[in-house]
Amino acid sequence: MSAAIRPEVLTEAVGNVLVVTLNREHVRNAVNTAMAEGVAGALDELDRRRDLVAGVLTGAGSTFCSGMDLKAFLAGERPGVPGRGFAGIVERGSDKPLIAAVEGHAIAGGFEIVLACDLVVASETAAFGLPEVKRGLVAAAGGLFRLPQRVPYQLAMEMALTGEFVPAERARELGLVNRLVPAGEAASAALELAAAIARNGPLAVAATKRIITLSRDWSAEESFDRQRPMAEDVRSSEDAREGARAFTEKRPPRWSGK
């Protein structure tokens, strides 16, 4: 059963996966302050609960997210959360793997939310873009430095400087999308992918994400030294011993998160 962190954001635990739904369908899931606070609360829950290994972030209805709610902005709202930034996610996401499940448009701040996630499952209806320049604005919620990490420099420049949208199939070709699925199936496909992640050792999954994320800023000389304590913490865990026992005994592992 879904629960509401706030009415603007629904959460539902499905096995070891937390599904988070942006729930302002009447405004194409545009982000206001209440939604940002709801997303931040959902990510806090995902990080806090030891029984949860991964998360899926999706939007209600036929649109993932159209970006910032401009009416709320003009009324004086700033749809961010201290420490987590715009939409409660772009400056600090989850410590655990987070999958964006995209139907329809993920544009402006909505695309920046997608870029703040670790993996992307998109339906054939999806489209991505940073149209801020068309409105005389700058995409300041992480898109201008995350996008060049995901696609070649020239393509990131083209998307950011023209503001044109990229359809789902092209986004898949560029490597922005992990899995492309028929319309209406993004959330279920993302949940399948999250479940495949959640079957693995939770300590190992969290450490793996952390190393991949942090190592982008490590030099070649320091990489192994920086990785070593994180890997050793997992190697010395009860879960590591359980994984080895389960393999030798030819049975599924029973993870404890310890």
pLDDT digits (tens, 9 = 90+) for 119-152: 999 999 999 999 999 999 999 999 999 999 999 9
Compute how many other C-beta atoms are within 10 angstroms of the C-beta atom of residue 221: 7
CA gap 65, 31 in Å, rounded: 8
Going by C-beta distance under 8 Å and a sequence separation of 6 or more, which residues neighbour residue 34? 6, 7, 8
- Which residues does the annotation mark as catalytic? 112, 132
The tens digit of pLDDT for each residue in 195-241 reads 999 999 999 999 999 999 999 999 999 999 999 999 999 999 999 99
Classify residue 133 by its DSSP letter. G
Task: Specify the range with the lowest mean pLDDT, choosing from 4-8, 164-168, 253-257.
Answer: 4-8
Using the predicted structure, report yes or no on whether residue 1 has a pLDDT greater than 60: no
Looking only at Cα atoms, what is the longest distance across the chain?
62
Q: Which domains does the chain have, with CATH numbers?
A: 3-198 (3.90.226.10), 202-248 (1.10.12)
Token pair, residue 44, equals 């806090």
CA gap 75, 144 in Å, rounded: 26
Q: How confident is the model at residue 249 (pLDDT cuts 50, 70, 90)?
A: very high
The tens digit of pLDDT for each residue in 97-126 reads 999 999 999 999 999 999 999 999 999 999
Answer yes or no: are the C-beta atoms of 254 and 242 closer than 8 Å: yes
Quote the percentage of the chain above a pLDDT of 90: 94
CA 48 from centre of chain: 17
pLDDT at res. 73? 82
Going by C-beta distance under 8 Å and a sequence separation of 6 or more, which residues neighbour residue 66? 27, 28, 29, 30, 105, 107, 108, 110
Nearest to 230 by CA among 205, 198, 255, 251: 205
* Averaged pLDDT of the chain: 95
Classify residue 176 by its DSSP letter. S
Q: Helix axis angle, 202-214 relative to 186-198, nearest 10°?
A: 110
Question: Which residue in this structure is represented by tokens 């709320």?
Answer: 72
Answer yes or no: are the C-beta atoms of 95 and 59 closer than 8 Å: no
Answer yes or no: are the C-beta atoms of 129 and 159 closer than 8 Å: yes
Compute how many other C-beta atoms are within 10 angstroms of the C-beta atom of residue 111: 34
Going by C-beta distance under 8 Å and a sequence separation of 6 or more, which residues neighbour residue 197? 53, 54, 97, 205
The tens digit of pLDDT for each residue in 4-48 reads 567 999 999 999 999 999 999 999 999 999 999 999 999 999 999
Using the predicted structure, report yes or no on whether residue 93 has a pLDDT greater than 90: yes
Answer yes or no: are the C-beta atoms of 106 and 57 closer than 8 Å: no
Using a cut of 0.85, tell me whether the model's pTM lies above it. Answer: yes
Question: What average pLDDT does the segment 157-182 reach?
Answer: 97
Using the predicted structure, report yes or no on whether residue 61 has a pLDDT greater than 80: yes
